[in-house]
Amino acid sequence: MLKKATTASIKTTVSKPAPLFSRLGALLLVIGMVVTFFISQLIGVYIAGKMVLPATKNATMGDIFFFGSNDGTVVSLSIIIGCVLLVAVSALLIRVRGGNVRKYLALQPFSWSVGIGMLGLLLIFMIGSQALTYLLNESPLVFVDPLYQSVSSVWLLIFAMVIVAPIYEELIFRGLLWSAIAEQFSNVANAEHRGAIVASLVTSVIFAVIHLQYGIYEIGTIVVLALIFCYARIKSGSLVLPMLLHVVNNGAAMAQYLAEIS
């Protein structure tokens, strides 16, 4: 009996590993990564602006930020640069804490049946969102106009906004931050679902709010979209599925935008 009890105790301990981040650490991580998110964008715009914008030798930093933020080529390159920086920072933080990057970020295969089901849910959301947008006469992609008109190649803009942006946004919000918040409940009895719910709500609201280019209506829509991505992460146990769904969503939005202006 003693041997069985000891074995059970060991199994319980193994099944519930200690969180990678403490509660204070998770709070600081959320704040720090949001700040890092914006800093990476500024760094990206500055580097890309120095590379692309004419007559930057005598331009001030403010001039580079102002003109670069409205230049499609600069913004596209800044998204790529920001992605590299954020992926590196995220991986470094996990490794410093002694975690496994692939496991902590849930970078693993998922069931195709789950993927098809989540794709169906996303399509229902997209159709409903588009119908509501039409009824309310909203124009959520109006911010793309100056970027499209000034980009050197529309394919660069498509690559940055449809492929690159979803990768690093999912890696941060449904990856690093979601895991850091959800794991705070890992050692609480029968509270795994609570951790997933709290992590999903917190990261979805933050994810929506940081999209400063949108209005209130669009931010509300993004919250719902982010919750769908969180549900895909929970249902599949993989971050790859939310990434793919995010790419599909952005790709559909970009395709619609291009169709409207052509």
Q: Does the pLDDT at position 13 exceed 60?
A: no
Residue from 140, 173, 141, 155 nearest 76 by CA: 155
pLDDT band with cut points at 50, 70 and 90 for residue 24 = very high
Whole-number Å distance between alpha carbons of 227 and 201: 7
pLDDT at residue 96, rounded to an integer: 96
Each residue's pLDDT tens digit, 60-83: 888 888 888 889 999 999 999 999
Q: Does the pLDDT at position 179 exceed 70?
A: yes
Higher-confidence residue: 128 or 133?
128
Whole-number Å distance between alpha carbons of 138 and 215: 10
pLDDT band with cut points at 50, 70 and 90 for residue 2 = very low
pLDDT at residue 16, rounded to an integer: 65
State percent of the chain over pLDDT 70: 92
Higher-confidence residue: 4 or 189?
189
What average pLDDT does this structure show over 187-211? 87
What average pLDDT does this structure show over 99-116? 96
Q: What is the dihedral of CA 116, 120, 122, 127, to 10 degrees?
A: 150
Quick one: residue 226, left, alpha or beta (phi over 0 = left, psi -120 to 50 = alpha)? alpha
pTM of the model: 0.89
Whole-number Å distance between alpha carbons of 195 and 247: 26
What average pLDDT does this structure show over 217-246? 96
pLDDT at residue 7, rounded to an integer: 45
pLDDT at residue 213, rounded to an integer: 73
Q: Does the pLDDT at position 258 exceed 70?
A: yes
Higher-confidence residue: 197 or 260?
197
Alpha helices in 16-71 (DSSP H): 23-52, 61-68
pLDDT band with cut points at 50, 70 and 90 for residue 188 = low
pLDDT band with cut points at 50, 70 and 90 for residue 200 = very high
What average pLDDT does this structure show over 137-165? 89
pLDDT at residue 59, rounded to an integer: 79
Whole-number Å distance between alpha carbons of 239 and 224: 18
